[in-house]
Amino acid sequence: MGGLYLLWFGLSTALRPWSSARPGTGSAGGLAAFATTFLLTLANPPTIMIFAGLGLAEAQGVGWPALAVVGGVLVGSGGWWLLFAGVVSLMRERVSGPLLAWVNRVSGAALAGFGAWAVAGAVRGLLWT
């Protein structure tokens, strides 16, 4: 599911017209932006593996180490998104128009490529194992 989401998100970013390339100029509001970011974070394979590992730790009766990992993931993810949002906010006025459209195309193509790779790996795993 994460690979399909990355594929969709990458293609929609790469194909976005340059007039709506600037964040905040589209029809999506704050809730839609939050939902997109939240789903992108959930599509991150290390995040999925960490929480799957926590389920195994809880099943074996290990409580405090699992809580420490959850706290670490929470602080790490929150810190990353605060830093990322701060850098984007500072760069928002410096990158515009056609340059922003090219950034969207390149980053969208990279995301779509990673999504296609993940989907191909999942399909290969289902068919040949």
Q: Are 69 and 27 in contact (CB under 8 A)?
A: no
- Taking only the tens place, the pLDDT of each residue in 19-52 is 655 555 555 566 776 777 777 777 666 666 666 6
- Closest to 69 (Cα-Cα) out of 56, 81, 82, 80: 56
- Taking only the tens place, the pLDDT of each residue in 55-113 is 655 555 556 666 777 777 778 877 887 888 788 777 777 777 788 888 889 999 999 99
- Taking only the tens place, the pLDDT of each residue in 3-23 is 888 899 899 989 887 665 555
Q: What is the pTM of this model?
A: 0.53
User: What is the predicted pLDDT for the residue at 129?
Assistant: 66
Number of domains in the chain: 1
Query: Which residue segment(s) compose the domain that 98 sits in?
Result: 2-128
Nearest-angstrom CA–CA distance, 129 and 70: 32
User: What is the predicted pLDDT for the residue at 36?
Assistant: 73
User: What is the predicted pLDDT for the residue at 94?
Assistant: 78
Q: Are 99 and 8 in contact (CB under 8 A)?
A: no
- Taking only the tens place, the pLDDT of each residue in 93-104 is 777 778 888 888
